[in-house]
Amino acid sequence: MKFLGNKATVMPLAVVTLMLAFGMPQADAQGLFERLFGGGIRRAPQGDFPPPPRHRPKPREFAGGGSRINSPSYYTYKADRLVRVDFATLMAAPQPVAPQDAAFVPSLTSDAFREAIAGLGDYELYAESDIAKALIAYYSANPDFIWVTGTGPNGRAQDAVRVLGEATSYGLTPADYSVAVPARASTGGADARLQELVRFEMALSARVLRYVHDAQSGRVDPNRITGYYDFPAKPLDMEGVLKTLVRTQQVRIYLESRHPQNAEYQALRVELESLQASSEDEIVVDPKLLLKPGQTSPELPKLLAKIARDLDDEMGGAYGEILARLATSEVYDPELVPVIKAVQKKAGMKGDSVIGPRTVAALVGTSKADKIQKVQVALEELRWLPSDLGSPRVFINQPAFTASYIENGEEKLKTRAVIGKTTNQTSFFYDQVEQVDFHPYWGVPQSILVNEMLPRLRRDPGYLDRAGYEVVNARGKRIPSSSVNWGAYGAKVPYGVRQLPSEANALGELKILFPNKHAIYMHDTPQKSFFQRDMRALSHGCVRLQDPRGMAAAVLGTSVDYIAEKLKHGHSTEKVARTIPVYVAYFTAWPDMSGKVEYFSDVYDRDTRLQQALDSTEAVRSPAS
C-alpha cells in the first residue's frame, strides 16, 4: 500500500511487477514496522521465516483395525461461538487498579474512564474468547481510553474505523469489524455521553483485535478444515497490540502492517480491486462441463461463440465456416472435433478433443464471480503462511502442477510437477529443504503396503523378492518376502519394505527431502509420460518433478553437471547447507513473477470447503454488536 494522509491507495500494478521481478526487501520492511510500533506480534528469534514444527514421518492412522489405512479426512467446520465480555471483573476492580501495568501513565481522561466503566454493567458486547480476556486484562492494568479524548472519538479512532471499513480491499468482510461511532454531539446528559463513549471504546478495541488477528493469521483455523492442512499457529499478544496502539498516532500504518508483507499478497489485492471494478464477460460457460464427441449440452453453443469471437486469421480461414454453420448446435458434431483439437493445442494443451474443465478454463476463462472468490480464498490462504516467504525458496503450486525455485525475486527454475490423486491428495503445508538423496531407496509407506501390495502378497508371498524390494523385521534384520505369512496381517504389518535403487525405482534417480509427518517429498519418476498430460494429479501424494536434476542443483547451490557427476557414483546423500523454505501450496489464483494473476482448477475441491468454513465464521460473527 501507499499511504497518503488518511487515504490508502492500492499499490500500482507496475510497482507490484517490479517487486515480483526484482525482489522486495520484505524482512527490512517488516523490521521497520517493528521498530516503529513494537509489540503485538510474537516472532521467532531466527528471523521472519518461522520454522514449522519439526515433524518426523509417521504412518497414517489405522482405520479401526481393518485391512486398509485411510487418508486424512475433511471435517465439517464449526466456528467457535462468541462469548459475552464479562465487564464485572473490570467494574469491581479496586481503585487504583492493582496490579497496574508498569508502563501505564494516567492521562487527563483516566478519572473519566474509571467513572465511565460503571456504564458497562448491562452492555452486551460479544467477541472471541481470547479477545474478551485480553480486553479485561488490558483495561484492568491500563484504566484509560485509547480511542476517546475529551467528549468524543479521537483521531486515532477515526483512522482505525476507516481501516476497518476498507476491509473489502483485503478480501475481508467489513461487517466483521463494524463499530457504531458516537455522534459528535450528545443528545443526553454527561452521564449518558460517558456511557456511550466507554461502550464505543470497548467495541472498537474488540474489533481492532479481531482485525489484527484476521490480517495476521486468517479468519479460520485451516487445520480444522481437513487433515490435509498442517500449519503452525501464529501467536498474537493481544494486550501488546492495544499497548502499541495507545502509544502511536500511526494507526493506519500499524494495522496495515499486520497483513502479509509480500509482493504476491499485494498483487492479489490489485487483482481483486481490478475485478471488482470490471464488467462481467457476457459469455459464461459451466466450468465443470464435460463433453465428448457425439454428446449433447446446452453449454456447447456458448463455448463455440467464445471460440468464434476470438478466432485469428489463420484459425478463421480454417474453421470459420464450420463454426458459423454449427454455431447453435447443442450436439458435439464430429465436424467440430478438429476445431476443438486446434484450439486446445493453441492453448498449450494436448488436443484430445474432450471438452472438460481445463479446456473450458483455457478457452473461456473463469467467470468474474469465480475469479473474485478464488482471489479472496488465495488472500486468506496467504495469511496462513509467513509474512516473508523467504529467499531462496521452493514454491509448489498444486493446482498449477508446477514447482519453482525462486531467489532474489527471480524464478530461476520452473518445472512441471505431478501431485497426488484425488484419493491420495498432497497436503498443504510448509517446511525446509534438508537434503538430496541420489539413487535413493524407496521406503514403501504403510498405506501403499497395506492398501495395494498386501492383497497381491497374500496370493504371491515372494513377489517382493523378485521385484527388487527388501523386507526387514522389527529388529531391522533382512528376511525373504516369501518367508512371511502375509495373510496373517491386516492394517498393522510389522515389517518394513523398501525398493532398492534401480531404473525401475519409483523415485527415479533422486529425491529432495524436507522431513514432515505427511512423508511427502519431491522426486524423479520413471513415468515420464505423465508430464505430457494437462491434468497431473496422478501420484500417491508425493511431488514428482519433470526436471529433478535442475531442482536438486538449485537447492544445493550447484550446477546440473555436478548433479550428473554425483549420479555416476551410486547411492549417496548431500545435505542442503542453506535455509530454504519449501511451500507445498494450494492456490487456484496466484500471480506469476510479472504480477499477472493466473487461475487454475480446484482439483481437490478445497476452495469450496474453505468457503464453507468462512461462511460458518461469518454466520457466528454476524449477530455480534
> What letter represents residue 618's amino acid?
E
> Residue 401 and residue 588: Cα distance in Å, rounded?
11
**Predicted pLDDT of residue 191:** 85
Nearest to 463 by CA among 449, 447, 445, 446: 449
Most confident of the ranges 100-109, 303-312, 349-358, 422-431: 422-431
Q: What is the pLDDT of residue 372?
A: 95
Of 80, 341, 352, 104, which Cα lies nearest the Cα of 242? 104
pLDDT at 548: 98
**How, if at all, do strands 478-479 and 496-499 pair?**
unpaired
Specify the pLDDT at position 1. 37
Which secondary structure element, helix H or strand E, spans residue 187, and what is its range? none
Q: Which residues on neighbouring strands pair with residue 543, listed in sequence order?
A: 522
Number of other CB atoms surrounding residue 524 within 10 Å: 24
Q: What angle do CA 123, 125, 128 make, to 5 degrees?
A: 155
| pLDDT at residue 94, rounded to an integer | 57
pLDDT digits (tens, 9 = 90+) for 376-411: 999 999 999 999 999 999 999 999 999 999 999 999
Percent of the chain with pLDDT over 90: 67
CA dist., res. 495 & res. 443, Å (int):
11
What is this structure's pTM?
Answer: 0.82
Catalytic residue among 213, 259, 523, 540: 523
User: Mind listing the pLDDT tens digit for each residue in 539-549?
Assistant: 999 999 999 99
248-256 average pLDDT score: 96
CA distance 176 to 220: 13
Residue 322 pLDDT > 70: yes
Q: What pLDDT does residue 239 have?
A: 97
**What is the CATH architecture of 281-366?**
Orthogonal Bundle (1.10)
pLDDT beyond 60 at 532: yes
Tell me the one-letter amino acid at 554: A
pLDDT digits (tens, 9 = 90+) for 276-315: 998 866 678 888 899 999 999 999 999 998 888 877 878 8
Residue-averaged pLDDT of the chain: 86
- Catalytic, 571? Answer no
Q: Is 523 noted as a catalytic residue in this protein?
A: yes
Q: State the catalytic residue, choosing from 259, 439, 540, 542.
A: 542
